[in-house]
Structure 1
C-alpha cells in the first residue's frame, strides 16, 4: 500500500449494483458514511436546469420511515456530525460522520431515502424557495457573485452538458412540476448508480452485511441516460473579452483557458502549472503583479485547474488592479506571465515546490475520515475502482518539466483565452470603448456550468 493512501480498501458490488467501498481505520472511533450518486448538473435536460441541486435539498425532506428534518435530528442525537450534501456538474453526494457503533443508523437512513423519498408539492415548493434564496445570497446579490456562471457560460457551446449553472435557473425551477422531479428521482437515484463509502473503525464484512440488509432489497434500474456531446477541440478557437459594468467596489478581471479534465493524463501537469503560476506569495503571478511591479492587489488573485471529470475542463484565474492602475494593464501583465510559462516552462525548483504543496494538500485531505470517504467515492465513481486513489502522489511525482511546458503551450494561447472584466458602473461610464477585435460572447462558446459545489445545508 503506497504511502499516498496507507489504508486497506475493500470493494464489493451487491447484486443490485450498489458498489460498497470500505477503508477500515481503527485509530478513531468514528465511521464516515458517504454516498455518491453519478448524477449532477450535466445530466439535466434542457428546461430543467437546477434539478440535481434541488434534489440534494429534497433528500432531507423525509422518506417512508423518516419525517422531515428527522435525518439531521437522529444523526445529531447519536453524536454524529458533518451531515450535509453537495452537488457539482458531475455528481451529487450525501454524507455524515457517526460514532462507529451507530453505523447501522446512518446506513438505514441513506437506504430509506434512496428507496422511498417523500416527494410532495409542499416539500417541493419549500425547497424550491430555499434554492432561489441561496442563488440570491451567493450569486445575484453579492459583488462579482455571478462571475463563474458568466465565465463558464462563455466556455462551452450551447447544449453542452456543462453549459448551465449548477445552482440552476429560477425560471426553470418555477416552471417545473412535481411529476418532473419524481421522474428525475426515478431515473437516477438507484443503487446501481451509486457508490457507498464507509471509512473508520469498522469491520468490512459487517459493513457489507449491513449494506445488504438495508440497500440489498432496493431494485436496480439497469441503465441511466448519459449525455453524449460532440468532442471539443483543445482550444476555444478564438479570443474573447467581455466587460461588465455592475455594482462592484473595485475593478476585477477573471481569465479562463480550456484545460484537461480531472482524471486525464495531463491534469497533474495542469495542477503543477497553476500552482507554480498562481498559488501563494511565492507564485510567479504574485511576484510579478504584486511584489515586483505593484500592479495588482494581494487579495483576489489566483490561478487553479478546475476539476470537471468528464470533458475538457478549465484553468481559471483572477487579478484585481491596485488603485490608479487600469484593469487592462493588470490583464496584460497576467498574460505575460502565462506566455513566459508557455515558452519556457517551469524550473526544477518550482516543480519541486508545487509537488510539495499538492502533496501536503493531499495528506491534509486524507487526515479526516469524512474527507477520505469523499475522495474514495470520487475515484470509485470516476474510474470504477477506488484503488486508483493510491496513484495520486505517484502521478504528481511522474510529471516532468517537459510535461508542464507542453501543457502550458497548449493552454496559454491567444485563441484559448477568455477575459471577463468587472468595472464599477461609474468607471465603466467613463471608460473608452473596447478595442476592435474584441469578440462578443455570443459569437464564441455560449454558456456553461460552474465547477462550484452547491451545499444543501
Structure 2
C-alpha cells in the first residue's frame, strides 16, 4: 500500500512498541522508538538464504553478502564501510539458511546516511557489479572457508552434521558457505539474475530502532527507497518439511588433527515459531545450557570424562530445527563412555522431566537472553525483521518472552521424550590423528583476511 496509507500496530514487552508500514513498491518498514541513548539501528533483512539456492549454484546468497560491500551506484569500492565508520557507526552483514541481513548502528544524527547507503545498494548495486568485484569476493569467500571451516579444529562439524541431518536434495542439506566448485562456476550473469530476483524491495523488511523521529524517518525511507522498482520473479523456497523423527541413528567418524576426541550430535526438533520449539528450547537449556546444566554436572563435574558439554538450539522456520550436542572429552576417554552417559541423562529427563528449580532457572536464563537482545537497538531491530520475514508479524518479537515463560515442565519433558532419542540423531565422532609435518602446515597457513567479518551464520 502507499506510504500515505500506512498500517500501524502496537504490542508491548517491557514497554517496547513497534509500528508497521508498507511502501507502494512492497518494502515493509518497522519502526521502534526508544530515546534512552542517542543511537539508532538500521536493519535490512532480505528473504533469501542458502535454502533458496539450486543445485550447482550454492553459495550465491553468501557471495552476495560480500558483494554488497563492494560499491554501488554512488558509493565506490569500500565506501560503505568508510562512510559508516567515519560517521561513528558500526556495520556488518550475515547469511543464514533462511535470510541475508545488513545492519548499521549509528549516532542519531547519522540515521539518514545509513538509510541512503542501504537504498543505494538495493537500487543500484548492478551498476557497480563487474567481473573484478566478482573475482575479488570469490577469493574472499574461499579464504573465509579456509579460516572458519577447513583450518580450524572441529571446523567442518556444522557442515558435516547438517549434511547428515538433512538428506541429499533437501534445501538445507548444504550450508550457507556453499561449495567452492559452485562458486567457481558462478558467472556474472548468474549473480545479476540472483540480485534482480531477491534484492527487491518487495522481498525485504527494513527496521529502524532507537532515538528516531518516526515521521522524519518514514519520510527519508520514502525518499530513498520509494522509487526502487519491485520484482515479481521470485520462486518460493523448496519445501523443507521432513518426518518428525529421522528413524535411525546416522553416524560418521572423522579422523582429523583435533586436540581431543569429541562427540557431536544433531537431533531433529520442531520448527521455529511453534510452542513445541519453545518447549524443546527449555529442555535443552536444562540439559545442556551452561555450567548448571545436567550434562555439565554429570560429564564435567562428576564423571570428569569431558572438559566441555553443552546443548544448543538451531532454530529454523522452513525445516525441522536442530538440537546441537557438543561434548569434548578429557584425556583418553572413549566416546562410547560419553555417549552412554548422555543417553542415560536424556532418558532420565524424558521419564521425570525437570525439577521445579531447574525449570525456574532455565526460564530465567532464556528470559534474560531475550531481554538482553531486545534491550539493545541492534538486537531489537534484528528480531523485528526476523519475525516479519519468517513469520509475517514483527510484533511476535515483543511477545516472545511471554511465550517462553508460558511453557510448562510437562511440555519440556514431552518435547525431550519425543525427540532426544538415539533413532533421531546424526552423530559425528572426532578421533585425533598425529599432526602433519611442518612444511605441509606452513602452506595451509597462508591465507588472506575478510573484507568484513560477516559470517555464513
TM over 0.5: yes
Deviation at 1:386, TM superposition (A): 1.1
Q: 1:329 — aligned with what? A: 337
Deviation at 1:223, TM superposition (A): 5.0
CA RMSD of superposed structures (Å): 1.7
State the alpha-carbon separation in 2 of the partners of residues 387 and 107 from structure 1.
22
The answer to whether the 8 A contact 2:71-2:78 is kept is yes
Unaligned runs of 5+ in 1: 428-452
Q: 1:57, 1:456 within 8 Å by CA — same for their partners in 2?
A: no
Q: CA shift at 1:98, angstroms?
A: 1.3
CA distance in 2, matches of 1:456, 1:231: 23
In 2, the alpha carbon distance for the partners of 1:230 and 1:399 equals: 26
SS at match of 2:54: coil
Distance 2:422 2:456 in 1: 39
SS in 1 for 2:329: coil
- Determine which of 310, 313, 316 is the counterpart of 2:318: 310
Distance 1:272 1:38, change over 3 A: same
Task: Please point out which of 193, 198, 201 is paired with 2:203.
Answer: 193
**Are residues 1:363 and 2:396 paired?**
no
- Cα distance in 1, alignment partners of residues 406 and 84 from structure 2: 42
User: Residues 353-409 of structure 1, C-alpha deviation per residue, up to 9 Å, x if partnerless?
Assistant: 100001111111122211111111111112222111122111111101121121111
The alpha-carbon distance between structure 1 residues 308 and 5, as it changes in their structure 2 partners (threshold 3 A), is farther
- Go from structure 1 to structure 2 and tell me whether the alpha carbon gap of 1:456 and 1:110 turns closer, same or farther (over 3 Å shift): farther
Residue 250 of structure 2 corresponds to which residue in structure 1? 240
Q: How far, CA to CA, are the matches of 2:15 and 2:318 in structure 1?
A: 28
Using the size of structure 2 for normalisation, the TM-score is 0.91
Render the CA deviation track for 1:249-293: whole Å, top value 9, x for unaligned.
211110111001221221111110010000122110011111122
Correspondent of 2:386 among 367, 378, 388:
378
Equivalence for 2:98: 90
Kindly tell me the number of residue pairs found equivalent between the two proteins: 429
User: 1:288/1:97 Cα in 2 relative to 1: closer, same or farther (>3 Å)?
Assistant: same
CA shift digits 1:286-339 (9 cap, x unpaired): 111111222211x3x210111112211110111122213211111111121111
Secondary structure of the corresponding residue to residue 325 of structure 2: strand
* 3-state secondary structure, aligned to 1:66: coil
State how far apart, in whole Å, the 2-side matches of 1:235 and 1:216 are: 46
Q: Name the structure 1 match of 2:455.
A: 455
After alignment, is 90-99 or 316-325 more displaced?
316-325
Q: Offset at 1:456?
A: 8.1
Give the drift of 1:73: 0.9
Structure 2 residue 37 is matched with structure 1 residue 28: yes
Q: Does structure 2 conserve the Cα–Cα contact (< 8 Å) formed by 1:51 and 1:173?
A: yes
Distance 2:122 2:147 in 1: 29
- Which of 420, 425, 432 matches 2:428? 420
The answer on 1:260 being equivalent to 2:270 is yes
Q: Which has the higher contact order (CA 8 A, sep 6+)?
A: 1
The answer for the alignment partner of 2:178 in structure 1 is 168
- Provide the C-alpha distance between the structure 2 equivalents of 1:305 and 1:367, rounded to a whole number of angstroms: 22
CA deviations on 1:13-44 (whole Å, 9 max, x unpaired) are 01100001000111211121000000001101
Match of 1:43 among 31, 43, 52: 52
Matched residues in 1 for 2:310 and 2:103: separation? 29
| Secondary structure class of the residue paired with 1:235 | coil
1:116-265 matches, cutoff 5 A: 116-117=124-125, 118-229=128-239, 231-265=241-275
Q: How many angstroms apart in 1 are the aligned matches of 2:58 and 2:362?
A: 37
1:76 aligns with 2:85: yes
Mapped to 2, the partners of 1:89 and 1:20 lie a distance apart of: 23
Whole-Å Cα distance in 1 between the matches of residues 433 and 166 of structure 2?
Answer: 28
